[in-house]
Every structure is written in structure tokens, then in C-alpha cells.
Structure 1
């Protein structure tokens, strides 16, 4: 088996060497990779909330972009042309200078309000996520309650004009947004610095949301030629979850060095979970630290710092995990007693045939726009969770 592993590794290394030796194949990408783009520098190209921030800024006629009411008027006209009743004609004739733009008003991405004209435009921006929890119906009901005397328009903005679950919401694509911005820039001729910023944003949308056809063709040719090497690179690429987990391992390693009640399990865990134990576990469950098939010498019960990335921003929590494989009847019964005590202390417990996961803390969000500060900001979050864990263990000890 070892020889096979060595040969596979050597084959993979040779594949990567061949790719590196053919660096000329990457030259056609230079037009894109050498271009300075402020959104790439700030690492916000794939952050939905940042796109909403830029759009809200461009839509506000009182902001300093120099486009005046060009962008908000474009959005109003887009909605008006798709109205099935006669209200759209009045929309096209109204004065758009009086708009105020609100961000995240009652969780709505962008809300444009013109009190003088009694008009409200509600925009839900969905680039990297989907609808959830009947949010469109809730938002519409909220707007109807708050603005009963206004003409109300609802826009569902997605990369490719995806249809909304609610018929009152008009489908709009980012191609439509670029057309609106392009016309506003051409009409207003903003200052060079502003024009460059707007051009960077439009370029970001084309590359990261809509897709650049020429760039796609170049990448397809390179991928066809070096598929194995690029698959290897992609498989081992650093990502948000891995980066956060590495920060978590560094943090728990420092804690274990200063607190002898904590033990870091370096050779266990995976991309999503950092494993550690405390002195409490073997005291509560004598024999639970006997070797298991899952965590080896570290037993059948461990703590995990779990990273979850199924929302708009990644989140972390501390959880206590039991594995029942190989436990005798006595230990299984002891585990069930502890789990019952945990349910009384902290209700969030999920029990299966082989596993039990008990939340020691709730999830905390990790801001994805401050990666450089994760060592500090994430450490503060984890410090707070560790204090919660100590209280959790204290209550658990009282129950036993």
C-alpha cells in the first residue's frame, strides 16, 4: 500500500511540474490578472452584502458619485415597463431627486423611498444565496403595512433574472443593472476617480456574477490541456472554512499550552472540526477515554470547534460529540445519563444511533470581510465561547 501511495504522489508531482513548465499557456490570462481592480484588492467580489452597498450608493441621488438620479431612475423605469397595470406611466413621469435609500431596513436588502411622490421600490438581492423562510411574502407584507398610501414596486435581483416565488416580485438580472449604470455614466460623465471606481465595479460584476465569455473560453482551453494538475490544485486550494479552522487550531493550541485542563488533539478532526478534550470528560465518564475507531486514543467523547459555511457568512460553535461505536453496555448507559443531563442544562442535543452532538454554545458569525484580522477577532469570539464552555461544564458537573 505504501508503494502505491508513493507512486501516486510521484505521478501527481510530475503532473504539477508539467503544468508549471508550460507557463506560457497562462499568458492569455494576463489581460485580466494584471488589471488592478479595487474590489479584488478589498476581497469583496463574492460578498453579497457589499454588492448591495455599492448599488445602494449608486442609486442614491444625494451621494457623491456624480450620477445624480441616473441609476435610481433606471431602476424605476425598469420596474415601470414591466407593470401590468396603468401605474407604470406615472412612475416614468415622477421626479426621482427626492429618493432616500435604506440598507437592511427590516432585513430588506435595498429600499428606495420617495415620500413626495408616494413611491416605494423594494429590492431583494440574491447573488450567492437562495430565498428562505417565505421572506419575499414577509417583506411585501411589511412594506404594505408601513407604506399603505404609496405605489409599491418589488424587484427580485439575481445574476440571470431568476423568477421569484412570489408573483408580485419583478425578475431583474445583473445584465439589466449594468445597462442602467452604463447609461447613467454616459449621460452624467462623472469625475475620473469616480468613473474608475464604477468601471471596476462593472468589471467585477461581469467577471464574477455574469461571466466573461472571452475569459471563459481561455480558461476552458487551459483546463482541457492541464485538467489533472488544475484538479489537484483545486482539491487542495485554501478556502474560508480551512482558513478559519487553521485559526481555531492555532487558538486552541495556545490555550492548551497555558491551561492544563485542555488538550489539543492535533492528529484528529478535519476541515470543519478542530478536536480537543478537557479534564471533565473522563471524570464524568470513567473509561470514555479508551481508544475508539474514530478518534483513536482520545476516546469516544470530544469537543469540537465546528465551522459552518451554509449561510451568507461562515459561523463557528463549540459542540460536544459522542461516538457510541464499540462502547459496552455500561459505558453506553453512562453516556445516556450524561446526555440526559446535558438536555436539562442545554436543550440543543441531536442523538442518533452512532452519534450524539450537543451544542455547548450557539453559533457566532465570522465576518468574511476582515480575514486579515481573524487571528484577533476570531480569538475574541472563541475566548467568549470558552467562557461559555466553562459555565456549561460547571452546570453539567452539578447535574452529575
Structure 2
């Protein structure tokens, strides 16, 4: 066995993580069946759907209202100017675009309290915040301002990650955590009266989605650096395994289980 691989699977932190993962009750989840759980693009699709007041979810503007409220709470905490929002969101005053100029989700709002048109660009990352994310967001922000500054009075970029905080605010970017999104969806699922006949199906869908989000938004240990340090300490062998997996070459699946058992 590769010495680096042996060190990884004998690392107490890895063993603890592995035991925690295998101990989890495995239940049916359509995102797992479709293998969508780990793809950022799928999570962006769900968020874009929830942000549309006339979406087939039947919750109206509930998610959009709670999301923009959370956004402005974070803005105030970070010292970033809050975003003007309407007193109520009408479908004709809300536009949601996916992958516009490579931005994951672009939200267009008209009819705000101040009469200003607002553009909110959301960059979605289902991992921890790193400096490169901010650079990416700022690049998109520049392009959006060039194209939309004549029509939109406020253009605000948002970085969504699993980290509780980020230094993005130093660049005027509002950071929102996936844990906050999870809280919003959970609250809506519990309190909202779904307007459509198939509301219970939507409620069930949101339950499955929450399960997936809670997996990557949480940490396997109370120490916030637990998983990060494990990855950093074994980065070389993990990268090698990922490459072998991509090339169709046997990796940890061939050697790991006997050791882990």
C-alpha cells in the first residue's frame, strides 16, 4: 500500500471522520439517487427556483423575502450598505437568471421602497470561503457594473459559502453562510402554507434538500478547523486519489476498506 495512503487511513482524525460518516443512518434521498448532492450547479438551480415568487413551489415570495432580510442583516453586521428591497415582491418586479456572465444566480428587483432598481449577483460555493472566491466575485461584479449600471441603481455581489464568516466584506461583498440558508428553508418548510395542491410534495422535496444541505453546511467535529487541517495534512495523497478516480484507475476503493474495517 502507498505509504501516504496508509498514513491517511491511520490518522485518528480520518478514522473519527470515517466512523461518523458510516454511523449515519442512510435513508432514501432523490438527490443521492440522481447523484446531484455534490454539484454546486444543482444547488444553484434549487436556490434560483426558490427565489422566484411565481415558482412551482407554491410559497410565493417567502424565500425571497427571508433571503433579502438575511442579506441585509449580514450587510449591517459587516458594515456594508443594506440593499433596498420592495415592501412586497410581485412576480413582474422580480427577475432570476442563471449563469448570466458566468454568475451563478443574478437577481433583478424593481419597485423597491426607494424607487431604485436593484441587481444582486450571487456566487454559490458549497465549500469554505477562500481568497480566490472573492477575486472571482469581484471580476464578475466589474462586468455586471459595466453592462447594467445605466439601468440598475444598486448592484450588489454576494458570496455564499459554508464558512460562518469571510473577509469578502472588505471588498464590499456580502457574505452569507449556507447554515443561514438552511435555517431559512427549514423555517419556511415548517411555517408556510403551500398554495398548490401538491404542496405536500414540495414540503417533502424541501425536506430531502435540507438533509443534503445539512451534510455539507455542517462540520464533523466541534473544532471548526477539524476537516480543513485533515485535508491540508493529506493533500498530496488526496489529490492523487482524485486524479486516479478521474482516470478510472483503482484508488482508495481497492486498498482502503481492509484497513478501515
Which TM-score tier does this pair reach, normalised by the shorter chain? 0.5 to 0.7
The 8 Å contact of residues 80 and 92 in structure 1, kept in 2 or not, is answered as no
Please report how far the alpha carbon of residue 94 of structure 1 lies from its aligned counterpart in structure 2 after TM superposition: 4.6
- Which residue of 177, 180, 189 corresponds with 1:176? 180
Q: Check 1:139–1:112 CA distance in 2 against 1; reply closer, same or farther (3 A cut).
A: same
Tell me the residue number matched to 2:256: none
Q: Check 1:27–1:100 CA distance in 2 against 1; reply closer, same or farther (3 A cut).
A: closer
Ranges in structure 1 where 5+ consecutive residues have no aligned partner: 6-11, 13-25, 217-234, 248-269, 272-400
SS at match of 1:111: strand
Q: Check 1:29–1:171 CA distance in 2 against 1; reply closer, same or farther (3 A cut).
A: same
C-alpha separation in 2, matches of 1:133 and 1:29: 35
C-alpha separation in 2, matches of 1:165 and 1:126: 16
C-alpha separation in 2, matches of 1:144 and 1:28: 44
Please report how far the alpha carbon of residue 135 of structure 1 lies from its aligned counterpart in structure 2 after TM superposition: 2.3
SS at match of 2:171: coil
The yes-or-no answer on 1:112 pairing with 2:113 is no
TM-score by structure 1 length? 0.45
Tell me the residue number matched to 1:150: 153
- Which residue of 35, 43, 59 corresponds with 1:51? 43
Deviations 1:371-391 (Å, cap 9, x if unpaired)? xxxxxxxxxxxxxxxxxxxxx
Tell me the residue number matched to 1:194: 202
SS at match of 1:244: helix
The 8 Å contact of residues 67 and 185 in structure 1, kept in 2 or not, is answered as no
- Which residue of 239, 246, 249 corresponds with 2:248? 246
Please report how far the alpha carbon of residue 244 of structure 1 lies from its aligned counterpart in structure 2 after TM superposition: 3.4
The 8 Å contact of residues 80 and 174 in structure 2, kept in 1 or not, is answered as no
Q: Check 1:212–1:101 CA distance in 2 against 1; reply closer, same or farther (3 A cut).
A: farther
C-alpha separation in 2, matches of 1:240 and 1:156: 26
C-alpha separation in 2, matches of 1:212 and 1:205: 14
Query: Aligned-residue CA RMSD in angstroms?
Result: 3.9
> Which structure has the greater CA radius of gyration?
1
